[in-house]
Structure 1
Amino acid sequence: MTIRSVFAALALAVLAAPALSSPAGSDAETAKKPTVSEIIRIAASYSCSPRKTCKQISSCREAMWLLKNCSWGHRLDRDNDGIPCEGTC
């Protein structure tokens, strides 16, 4: 695992945090937040090489990581709405 992948994972976690928040009193508020070790494990499991298509991506989390961290990730978001692989996410 490289330092770059660790920082990418941490940046993704920070950027995704506001998007995952929900109104007060909801069940999502009590949901478990990922630990640093979980974030590092996630970053280590994804790679920008080789390029992938939406059919090859197994989760929305992976699609979001590829969109934010790979130079070719924008290709996963055909309608440029910020949501990659709409069939998965």
Structure 2
Amino acid sequence: MQRLLKVAAGVLLALTPVSALAVEQSPANPEVYRVEVAQISCQPRKTCGKIRSCQEARWYMNNCSWGGRLDGDSDGAPCERLCGSNN
């Protein structure tokens, strides 16, 4: 999902509350920003097979009560298939 936002007095004005936000300023028009919004929620519970990126896995591990289960070998890295291993 992409949304265009404007900056007022140097503050990014979001149209909706979000959990994860990536912002990139347009080189052609510095007042226009490309925004990627990821709606991430702890419900429903996810498994590593349903998670698409390491960043998403880390978000679940750090923010959800069940997130520690994503680190099967307790090395601090969730979903080793996506994030690799810390060993």
Using the size of structure 2 for normalisation, the TM-score is: 0.54
Q: Distance in 2 between matches of 1:47 and 1:71?
A: 12
The DSSP-based 3-state class of the residue aligned with 2:80 is coil
The structure where strand makes up a greater share of residues is 2
Unpaired runs of 5+ residues, structure 2, are: 1-15, 24-33
The DSSP-based 3-state class of the residue aligned with 1:88 is helix
Alignment root-mean-square deviation, CA: 2.5
- 1:74 is aligned to 68
Deviation at 1:79, TM superposition (A): 1.2
Higher relative contact order (CA 8 A, sep 6+): 1
The structure where helix makes up a greater share of residues is 1
1:65 matched to 2:59? The reply is yes
- 1:14 is aligned to none
What letter corresponds to residue 66 of structure 2 in structure 1? Answer: W
Q: Distance in 1 between matches of 2:82 and 2:61?
A: 13
